[in-house]
Structure 1
Amino acid sequence: MNWILVYEKEIDTNHLVHLTGERHNHIQSILKKGVGETVQVVVPGSGNYIFRIQSTADILTTIQKEISLPEVLRPLELQTFFSLPRPQTAKKLFHLSGAYGVNSLYFYATETKNKEYWTSPVYSKDTVSYLETGLSQTGNSRFPSVIQERTQSWKHFLKTWRGVVLVLDREGEDFCPYVKEQSERFKETLFVFGPESGWKPEDILFFKESGFQLMSLGKINLRTEFAYSALLHQIFSIRN
């Protein structure tokens, strides 16, 4: 946790925030900061700030907003689609999305996926906490939007996407030249990640018939979270 995450609603009229629990413990035990010292704070939807510690006790630390900072990270204007991953994988996807500040994540259960994954707390009450870990890591202040579609056909969704659909597959075209040429169009582009077992032949046929372009991040099989990390890093390197 490089940044303390504070929501706007927690800041009172005197610009004070009263922290307990994990954030209080982090300031005291990890950062080892005391009264009068400052901490870096990220406020989702607002920006980056310096807060000064006003008081501290056994279970409570009070900090006060002092100055705003220039935006430390330019969020990535990316829209991403995932064939419903295992909950352990989803945790990493949420963290990376929060860290890089992607625009949105769409989760659909394709035919090969285990729909029991939907019952995991990762896709319900714990989703926000995993996104928060990413914001706290990098200071990104944009909270990604997460859409979990449990009934609609994933193929219908792709067909009706208003923009470019890029399907990630190791047999596709090399992504490196493309990212440099088309980076300004990525806000309207949907990046599609399939199941780790790979796309079925009928899926590839559907993509070709629909005019979707297949792009490769490398000629090896990557776990979903590693492929996602590779994509984010390449685009981040160009845009920042």
Structure 2
Amino acid sequence: MNWILIYEEELVQNHFIQLSDERHTHIRTILKKITNDQIQVVIPGSGNYIFKIQSISESSTTLEKVNPIPNVLKPLLIHTFFSLPRPQTGKKIFHLSGAYGVDSIYFYATETKNKEFWTSPVYTKESASYLETGLSQTGNSRLPFVIQEKSFLWKNFLKDWKGNVFVLDREGENCQSIFKSKNGFLETNLYVFGPESGWKPDDLLFFHENNFQIVSLGKINLRTEFAYSALLHHLFSIRN
């Protein structure tokens, strides 16, 4: 946790907060801060700030907002689509999305066998906490939108998308030239990740029939979270 995450509504008079949860523990035992020390704080939807420790004890820490600082990370405003992954993979997707500040994450059950994953706490009540770990790591202050679609057909969703659709598959065209030449950072771009078992032949036919661009991160099989990390890093690098 490089940044302490605080929500605007937690502040008293817009300047003070008393922490007695894991954030207090982190400040006291990991960061080893004392009274009058300063810490970096990220406030979702607001930005990056310096806070000063007014007091600290075994049970709580009181912080005061001192001043804003320039945002350390420009969010990577892309839209992402995932064939509903295993919960352990979902955790990593949430974390990476929060770390890079993506615009939105769409989850669809493209395979019948995946529908049982909807019942996992990762998708029912814990998704926000995994997004927050990403913000706390990088200082990104933008919380992604999370859309979990359990009824609308995923192929209809892709057909209705108002913008470029990039489908990730190792047999596609090299992503570097594609993203640079086809405006890889348009706000309407959608990046589509399929099941780890791979796209079915009729899925690939559907993509071709709808003129969706199939792009490759390399000619090796990657687990979903590694492929997602590779895409985010690549886009982040060429943008900067």
TM class by shorter-chain length?
Answer: over 0.9
Report the CA distance shift for 1:236/1:46 in structure 2 as closer, same or farther (over 3 A). same
| 1:89–1:225 contact (8 Å) kept in structure 2 | yes
Equivalent residue number for residue 130 of structure 1:
130
Equivalent residue number for residue 52 of structure 1:
52
Question: SS state of the match for residue 182, structure 2?
Answer: helix
Instruction: For structure 2, list consecutive stretches of 5 or more residues without a partner in the other structure.
Output: none
Alpha-carbon separation, structure 1, partners of 2:210 and 2:228: 23
Report 1:55-70 matches (<5 A).
55-70=55-70
Number of paired residues? 240
Report 1:199-218 matches (<5 A).
199-218=199-218
CA RMSD of aligned residues (A): 1.0
The percentage of counterpart residues that share the same residue type is: 66
Amino acid at match of 1:140: N
Report the CA distance shift for 1:169/1:113 in structure 2 as closer, same or farther (over 3 A). farther
Equivalent residue number for residue 116 of structure 2:
116
Equivalent residue number for residue 36 of structure 1:
36
Alpha-carbon separation, structure 2, partners of 1:120 and 1:53: 38
| 2:8–2:14 contact (8 Å) kept in structure 1 | no
Task: List 4+ stretches of structure 1 deviating above 2 A.
Answer: 179-186
Query: What's the offset of the Cα at 1:20?
Result: 1.3
Question: SS state of the match for residue 186, structure 2?
Answer: helix
Query: What's the offset of the Cα at 1:210?
Result: 0.9
Report the more deviating stretch, 57-66 or 128-137: 57-66
Equivalent residue number for residue 77 of structure 1:
77
Alpha-carbon separation, structure 1, partners of 2:216 and 2:189: 16
Residue deviations 1:130-189, cap 9 Å, x none? 000000000000000000000110000000000011100000000011222334543111
Equivalent residue number for residue 187 of structure 2:
187
| 2:104 is the alignment partner of 1:104 | yes
Residue deviations 1:39-80, cap 9 Å, x none? 000000000000000011221100000011101000001000
Query: What's the offset of the Cα at 1:111?
Result: 2.6
Alpha-carbon separation, structure 1, partners of 2:185 and 2:18: 42
Alpha-carbon separation, structure 2, partners of 1:225 and 1:165: 19
| 2:78–2:185 contact (8 Å) kept in structure 1 | no
| 2:230 is the alignment partner of 1:222 | no
| 2:28 is the alignment partner of 1:22 | no
Report 1:119-158 matches (<5 A).
119-158=119-158
Report the CA distance shift for 1:141/1:234 in structure 2 as closer, same or farther (over 3 A). same
Equivalent residue number for residue 197 of structure 1:
197
Report the CA distance shift for 1:59/1:154 in structure 2 as closer, same or farther (over 3 A). same
Amino acid at match of 2:73: L
Instruction: For structure 1, list consecutive stretches of 5 or more residues without a partner in the other structure.
Output: none
Question: SS state of the match for residue 132, structure 2?
Answer: helix
Amino acid at match of 2:88: Q
Alpha-carbon separation, structure 2, partners of 1:192 and 1:14: 40
Residue deviations 1:181-200, cap 9 Å, x none? 33454311100000000000
| 1:84–1:113 contact (8 Å) kept in structure 2 | no
